[in-house]
Amino acid sequence: MTARRWHRRSVEPDENPPDQITRAEIRSASTAVRSEYAAEVKRWYRGRFLMTSDREEIARQLSETVIANGDSPPGAKTFMSVTGPNGAGKSTFLKRWASERHRGWAAMYPATGPGGRPVWHPDPQTECDVIPVCWVNLPSAARVKDLNAGILEFLGLPGEGLARLQTRRVLDACERHLVRLLIIDDAHLLNTGQRIGREVLDHVKVLNTELGELGASIVLVGANLEQGELLTDPQIAARLKAHFLGPIEVDTAAGRLQWQTLLAAQERDLAPYLPGLSTGVLHDEFAGLVWMRTQGYLGDVRELLVESIGRAIEDGTGAVSRAHIEAVPLSERAEARR
């Protein structure tokens, strides 16, 4: 990931929805036309983001923390973390949230750079890209040099060099490019064991303090961070606001309501392309079946609905059936949990 690619994706408009279709049109269409239309609807729906009330609340709290960090005096800021099981959609959720923050911050500067990128002038002779969000994907057993290199390379700078010199370059680059938010993805891959781990933990705290001088915030994202060395470090824990993102569970009334609300929203979105779909089928008749197949993981929900939609269009019924839902192959995790 690079800042330029991140900017392009953040400002790229959502794909236009497909044209609606009637039951008569879908029944009379040829096999080739149905397949083409099914592919168009599937492509559009795969780009949709499935939002739930708990994710909306987490997004609101993250935004409030970022604002509070920006308003507070220079110095160490409140860390944020988003954790949960593998496959819960943490990175997808954070990318959507961070892209919204990026657009808001970028709009404050003239988009006169190459490719319409926002720029600012620290002095009359110098023009710099404005890069309000820095996203780092960590490699396995990441050390201080790996984290520094990830930040530098995202900002378009060479990542090699001694860790001490890298750190100075990281901080200078973040100040030069007006970084407001550093997101460290796959933070569970940080090497936090023994002596090397101590160095990594200390470095994360140094980044928080130094970036805090610039009013910037850090978000740690990773699988099952709750009991790891990173979030239980006393200094980090003292400044941490932690958020858990998991699958939707249906063993409580609140969970069942959230699940049915999600499916009702998907049914409304899909109705124009499934003219044979009866109101209430997804969130009522098939709610239990869809949960059993996906175990409440939103990525699996989207994939299940994508393939079911395609099959319903291709066979000319324009209505998702139990057979469609049961026939879709899902991830090994979903199948094993079922």
Q: CA-to-CA distance for 85 and 74, rounded, in angstroms?
A: 34
Query: What is the mean predicted confidence (pLDDT) over 285-294?
Result: 95
Q: Given this model, what pLDDT does residue 199 score?
A: 87
Q: CA-to-CA distance for 77 and 208, rounded, in angstroms?
A: 6
**Burial of 18 (C-beta count, 10 Å sphere; 0-12/13-18/19+):** middle
Residue 192 has pLDDT above 80, yes or no: no
Query: What is the mean predicted confidence (pLDDT) over 183-188?
Result: 94
- pLDDT: which is higher, 193 or 45: 45
Predicted model pTM? 0.92
**Burial of 30 (C-beta count, 10 Å sphere; 0-12/13-18/19+):** exposed
Interval 121-145: pLDDT, tens: 999 899 999 999 999 999 988 999 9
Cα first-last separation, the chain: 34
Q: Given this model, what pLDDT does residue 27 score?
A: 93
Of 35-39, 192-196, 229-233, least confident by mean pLDDT is: 192-196
From residue 246, alpha-carbon distances to 49, 86, 87, 178, 312 in Å are: 16, 9, 9, 32, 30
Residue 196 has pLDDT above 70, yes or no: no
Query: What is the mean predicted confidence (pLDDT) over 315-336?
Result: 90
Q: Given this model, what pLDDT does residue 190 score?
A: 86
Q: Given this model, what pLDDT does residue 205 score?
A: 94
From residue 285, alpha-carbon distances to 194, 260, 264, 280 in Å are: 53, 10, 11, 7
From residue 329, alpha-carbon distances to 41, 46, 210, 260 in Å are: 19, 16, 48, 22
**242 neighbors 231 (Cβ within 8 angstroms):** yes
Q: CA-to-CA distance for 17 and 176, rounded, in angstroms?
A: 39
Confidence of residue 228 (pLDDT cuts 50, 70, 90): confident
| DSSP state for residue 142 in the 8-state scheme | B
Question: How many alpha carbons fall within 13 Å on the CB side of residue 128?
Answer: 20
Of 32-36, 188-192, 262-266, 317-321, least confident by mean pLDDT is: 188-192
Confidence of residue 31 (pLDDT cuts 50, 70, 90): very high
Rama region for 318: left / alpha / beta (φ>0; ψ in -120 to 50; rest): left
Let me know the angle formed at the C-alpha of 267 by 303 and 330, rounded to the nearest 5 degrees: 15
Interval 149-175: pLDDT, tens: 999 999 999 988 777 789 999 999 999
Element (H, E) at 218: strand 217-223
Percent of the chain past pLDDT 70, that is, above it, reads 99
Residue 25 has pLDDT above 70, yes or no: yes
Interval 37-89: pLDDT, tens: 999 999 999 999 999 999 999 999 999 999 999 999 999 999 999 999 988 99
